[in-house]
């Protein structure tokens, strides 16, 4: 998964027509490590999404502005709008993540 390195990169990604899934994480988070164990398979299944990750501590202002209250959190953006927010307590299993992604109101381009 590609890592967001700048605010400019973040802004460019969230404004794309293609939906962008952003995983918010920290390096010390045990739940983030568990999430990483199964997310690769889901990324392969959902090639319709651009997948990136963002360090919630490095980009604390952006995380706060997106109401990231726990990690890992998975947010999806399309055309500058947040279309989905999976909070950490609902991101514990592959099925929870798949169900969340399947319910997203994505626009086709």
Provide the residue-wise pLDDT of the chain in tens; the chain has 109 residues. Answer: 999 999 999 999 999 999 999 999 999 999 999 999 999 999 999 999 999 999 999 999 999 999 999 999 999 999 999 999 999 888 899 999 999 999 999 987 6
pLDDT at 61: 97
In a domain, 108, yes or no: no
Q: pTM of the entire structure?
A: 0.94
> In the chain, how many domains are there?
1
What is the domain extent for residue 60? Answer: 2-102
pLDDT at 13: 98
In a domain, 11, yes or no: yes
Nearest to 52 by CA among 13, 16, 88, 87: 13
Q: Which CATH number fits the domain that encloses residue 62? A: 3.40.30.10
Q: Are 57 and 86 in contact (CB under 8 A)?
A: no
Residue where the block lists tokens 């400019």: 8
């Amino acid at each position: 998964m590609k890592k967001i390195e700048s605010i400019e990169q973040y802004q460019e990604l969230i404004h794309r027509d293609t939906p962008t899934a952003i995983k918010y994480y920290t390096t010390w988070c045990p739940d983030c490590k568990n999430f990483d164990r199964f997310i690769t398979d889901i990324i392969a299944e959902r090639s319709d999404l651009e997948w990136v990750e963002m360090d919630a501590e490095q980009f604390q202002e952006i995380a706060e502005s997106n109401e990231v209250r726990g990690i890992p959190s998975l947010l999806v953006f399309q055309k500058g709008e947040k279309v989905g927010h999976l909070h950490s307590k609902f991101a514990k299993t592959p099925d929870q993540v798949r169900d969340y992604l399947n319910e997203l109101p994505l626009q086709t381009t």
